[in-house]
Amino acid sequence: MQESLPIGEKDTAGEIHDRMKELGAKVLVETVKGLANQTLMERPQLFFLESIAFEIKHAPKIFTETCHIDWSKTAEEVHNLIRGLSPYPGAFTHLQNKTLKIYRSEKEEEPTSMTPGEFETDKKSFLRFACADGFIQVKELQLEGKKRMTVNEFLRGYRFE
């Protein structure tokens, strides 16, 4: 049995995981029925993209270095890293010598003269980091030693040096 699951541009790994749990339960019931009735046919698991089939492979092991955000990458690459590592283990960077995990972001592909990794904020409603081709707007985060929160909650209490 094989089912597909659409993945949106803002979906995180945690959200996809939860949707897959629901779909997996349904497919499991259908599979057990098919096994009992001997109506299942074996076939390799394939991924189809524009009429080209690819064999699905196991995901690589995630190391701490994998989770560290490289701001010299494109906004799309950084955004996808954040989505892929949220909620666990979480993509991280450093903000004023403290570890900052980013759980939800939006990409802004617009020219910038800022150095990748530099951040800007109005200290009220937005915090964004420069990337190779734009910005990552932080939407949900966790500073080391603090709880997970929205960027608005964070900015209400954080004092920038």
Residue 1 lies in a domain: no
Residue 138 lies in a domain: yes
CA distances from 148 to 89, 108, 139 (A): 13, 23, 11
Residue 33 lies in a domain: yes
CB of 119 closer than 8 Å to CB of 130: yes
Q: How far apart are alpha carbons 31 and 84 in whole angstroms?
A: 28
pLDDT beyond 70 at 123: yes
When pLDDT is cut at 50, 70 and 90, the band that residue 94 belongs to is very high
Give the pLDDT confidence of 31-84 residue by residue, as tens digits.
Answer: 899 889 999 887 766 655 655 666 667 788 999 999 999 999 999 999 999 999
pLDDT of residue 60: 85
Please count the structural domains in the chain. 2
46 and 73 housed in the same domain? no
Residue 2 lies in a domain: no
111 and 134 housed in the same domain? yes
Q: How far apart are alpha carbons 94 and 69 in whole angstroms?
A: 9
29 and 83 housed in the same domain? no
Structure pTM?
A: 0.81
Full residue range of the structural domain in which residue 117 is found: 64-157
Q: Which residue has the tokens 């980013």?
A: 102
45 and 101 housed in the same domain? no
96 and 125 housed in the same domain? yes
46 and 78 housed in the same domain? no
